[in-house]
């Protein structure tokens, strides 16, 4: 499952620059035998967090629940995303089995949203550290995502930060980041 970036305020699977034809990348993976899907999630202007995480978890549950129809091995699912999509991919991979991100009243089987691997391109893992590293603690992207009026509270950051969910049962993850990223510092 691929998740697009865009700072939680925009974006889609058509990237610019080196990946200007990203659908072709997904098609190449499909030609190698992978089943691929690309997810559009609710943006920050439409819904505050955790709606975006709920969309990812719902997509995973849908795909795994319809595995036979789509030719998916539900025991071998992975998730991949860049920037905001990287954040959501990491969050999905690390929050396996944690119902705090599900809508109230969710009756899905425990673990049905879990993945076996995750690839993250320049994702946000710790919102508190990101805000602390900015002049004056500016956290505009996080504030929009989390719906904060002014600075976000530590508990808001923690709920949305993949680092809050790390445990010994997490799947393998490939983290890719560049030292010249001007939006999400490599640190």
How far, in Å, CA of 37 to CA of 127, rounded? Answer: 27
pLDDT at residue 55 greater than cutoff 50: yes
Left if phi > 0, otherwise alpha if psi is -120 to 50, otherwise beta: which for 130?
alpha
How far, in Å, CA of 58 to CA of 73, rounded? Answer: 17
Q: What is the pLDDT of residues 135-186, one digit of tens each?
A: 555 566 778 899 888 778 899 999 999 999 999 999 999 999 988 887 787 7
Q: What is the pTM of this model?
A: 0.91
Q: What is the pLDDT of residues 6-50, one digit of tens each?
A: 889 887 654 444 456 778 888 898 899 888 999 999 999 999 999
């Amino acid at each position: 499952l691929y998740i697009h970036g865009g700072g939680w305020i925009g974006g889609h699977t058509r990237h610019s620059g080196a990946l200007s034809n990203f659908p072709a990348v997904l098609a190449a993976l499909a030609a190698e035998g992978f089943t691929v899907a690309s997810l559009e999630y609710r943006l920050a202007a439409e819904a505050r967090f955790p709606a975006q995480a709920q969309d990812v978890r719902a997509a995973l549950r849908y795909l795994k629940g319809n595995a036979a129809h789509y030719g998916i091995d539900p025991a071998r699912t992975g998730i991949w995303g860049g920037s905001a999509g990287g954040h959501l991919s990491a969050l999905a991979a690390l929050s396996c089995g944690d119902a705090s991100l599900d809508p109230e009243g969710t009756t899905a089987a425990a673990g049905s949203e879990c993945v076996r691997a995750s690839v993250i391109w320049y994702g946000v893992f710790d919102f508190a550290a990101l805000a602390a590293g900015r002049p004056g603690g500016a956290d505009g992207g996080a504030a929009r995502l989390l719906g904060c009026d002014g600075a976000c509270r530590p508990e808001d950051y923690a709920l949305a930060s993949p680092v809050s969910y790390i445990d010994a049962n997490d799947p393998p993850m490939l983290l890719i980041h560049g030292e010249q990223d001007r939006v999400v510092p490599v640190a």
